[in-house]
Structure 1
């Protein structure tokens, strides 16, 4: 797929414009996101992804469009599992409802930048070393086994290591200062929990990327498609956080479904690696005549597994309500009633002596 430089810049520029517009809307009137608002935004981002895929279909062909949709659905479904951890992080930091959207937005921007770097490294490695496919396959299969063992448990693994390291060397206040990242108390500059929770969201997503990036490279080796699929999935993730809300606790079989998808893609990677083999210790360095999995079958398996997993999860919880796992905190949503002031629910900041706030 020959992607001109201008298209890369145009795509990244469009994403940046959407992020800036979203950030402006959040800062213009901070509030707890309502279910109705979250639904509109999720539909908006899904529509953008669909329009982008249709554009690929028209200008690049159905094969590339199919690869994009398969990658987008895979990344979005894997991201749903991230939401369990995001709920835990929000609860651990006691993030006020009016600031949760901003935290997710900035945290996901950090994650998108780091994922872009990770994708570039992965694409370069694949181009230089064919055995990378085998490495990615191993990562996916091991992750699939771990997810299957995890089952319905979504335990809190604590703050990411980089955040714990920062806590050792940076003074952190006990409470939020609105949306401020830095503050000054008694003449001493300190970091607020707002910065720490944003970093926690970003670094946590990067850990998930160690599994999801190899998965999408198993569906397409086009860096442009890998990046855009990740971008659209991440952009819609924060709104999905508020929309799903209590539904997260009902997706009891999600980990099993994701493990099946990852294992399937891992096998697909091995078959493709064998089909294009040039490693001298396998079949004398010649390609192995094995069947490969087309993008149509891949897309069908991914969508089918997700649909079956969701249906079985809802049936299980309906028959046995105690089967639903309860995260340590739940997304706080605003009131859809007209005139309701969600910002009023933000905890008041206790005044401290000689306290001044610093800008973001």
Structure 2
């Protein structure tokens, strides 16, 4: 069903960790806005990316209904279950509540059971009630349809779930194109807009930096900066170079302000009723003159001897030692 790339999507989708706007904005709200890239929704969550009302994003609704019908027909699905599935899917995608008073007659008896009411937040994740498989098996036995491996039990439900996961992944690709751009020109424009947002946020921190940092890191105004660097690559290089320095300088200036200590006279008003008295002078300590004793030291001179001549230092050649003579022992 899935390859390596969609497998990562499936793991994040099932655990609720898709990088939608509401989630990634917690890391950096300037770099990653929380709004939907296709509509005016201020907070994009995992449910909104599937139910976005944008016309381009709604195309997957029709693309899901037709294959879902054919897939259910191929595995001998109960028509009442299929009608309930599609009827509830339409209301969930349109964002309207289920009108229980307008339930079709063929599926009215299914909605009376609490276990068959669809909750699409869990239904798309594959958390189906076991009552679905029970109703499907009863339909097969009641109509004398041969029970096969694919038309009942977990195989029947997983066959339908995999189809919905495929379409959810395709919708995620469409959403990413709306966020990051479809072609090269659109992607470059998205990068430029993101760099402008990040740089404007850093220029808001300019008054909090030291004067030396303001002269070295910033241009006079943010508009002068955009006139100097017009492409996204130059702006991103400036961000990678100076953003850590600016943030460190802001933290340093904040620490200086937090640790500034005021004199105690500014905090408490001291009232003195009597003038202070002069302190009593301390007694001068006696100065002891050190006793210096000079001792005459006799200079001892050692006689110097002349070095022996050079030939005395030469080593005489040693005679080679003769091997010891051992007398031959007489034979016994």
Range class of TM-score, shorter chain: under 0.3
Of the two, which has the highest radius of gyration?
A: 2
TM-score (norm 2): 0.26
Which one scores higher on RCO, CA 8 angstroms, separation ≥ 6?
1
TM-score (norm 1): 0.24
Structure with the higher helix share, 1 or 2: 1
